[in-house]
Amino acid sequence: MTQALAPAWLVAGTDTEIGKTLVSCALLGLLARRHARVVGAKPVSAGNDPQGINEDVAQLRAASTLAVPPELDNTYALPLPMSPHAAAGRASTPIDLQRIVDAVQRLRGQADAVIVEGVGGFLVPLSMLEDGGDLARRLRLPVILVVGLRLGCLNHSLLTQEAIAARGLTLAGWVGNHVDPRMLQPQDSIDLLRARLRAPCLGIIPHLPRPDAAAAAACLQWSP
C-alpha cells in the first residue's frame, strides 16, 4: 500500500527580502496548533553566517516541531549570498531539481504537514537553464504568494500570478507584508491586489521592527 503524503505548500515571493521566511514560520505556527509533526524546508539557500548556518533555515528549524536531516530541509546550502545559479556555480555544486523533489517527498512521508520556502522571487534562476518556476512545477504544490508591500509590488504580483498559472499550479492564497514603512497609500495597492489576484488574501502583516512569527501568525486567516 502506498503511504499517503502529508499536505504541503510552497511559499513563493514577488521578490527577495520580502518576508517569505517570516510568513513560512507563521504558517508553521498555525499548522502546529493542529498537527504534532510540522516541518519547514528551504531546499536552496544562498548565504551563510560565519558558522556556516543560513539564517532563514535556522528560523524554519526553530518553527518546526520535527527535526530532520539537513539534506531534507536544506538540500543545497550555498555559502555565498548571490543568485542561486551563481552561488551554485561558485560552489561547484549544480542544483539537481529531482534531488529536491525526492527530499520534499521524504519530508511529506515523515511529517503531518510541510511548508516549503522558495528562494528569491518565483522565477529566480537555479541554473543557466532552470529556475524556481521549474522547481515549483516539479513539486506540484499549491502556492502561497508573499507580496512585499512596496513600490513596484503590483507589477511583481500580477506577473508572478501569471507565471504560477502558466505552470498549471494553484495559487492557494496571498499574504501582504509591509516591508517598506514609507510606502505611500499602501491601502490603494492592497485594494487592487484583492481585486486582481485570483486567490484569497490570507492576511496583511504590518511593518514589524524585527521579524516575529507569532505576531505575523496573529494577522493571518488560514484554515488549511
* Res 160: pLDDT: 98
Asked, for residue 142, whether it belongs to a domain, the answer is yes
* Res 1: pLDDT: 53
Classified as helix, coil or strand, 38 is strand
Asked, for residue 1, whether it belongs to a domain, the answer is no
pLDDT profile of the chain (224 residues), mean per 10: 86 96 98 98 93 93 98 97 97 97 98 97 98 98 98 98 98 98 97 98 96 96 90
Asked, for residue 41, whether it belongs to a domain, the answer is yes
Would residue 20 show up in a list of annotated catalytic residues for this protein? no
Asked, for residue 132, whether it belongs to a domain, the answer is yes
Asked, for residue 2, whether it belongs to a domain, the answer is no
Identify the CATH number of the domain in which residue 85 sits: 3.40.50.300
Number of independent structural domains in the chain: 1
* Res 2: pLDDT: 59
Per DSSP, the residues of 78-108 read ESSSS-HHHHHHHTT----HHHHHHHHHHHH
Asked, for residue 123, whether it belongs to a domain, the answer is yes
User: Per the residue annotation, which of 20, 35, 42, 150 is the catalytic one?
Assistant: 42
Q: Please state the pTM of the whole predicted model.
A: 0.97
- To 10 degrees, what angle do helices 186-196 and 153-166 make? 20
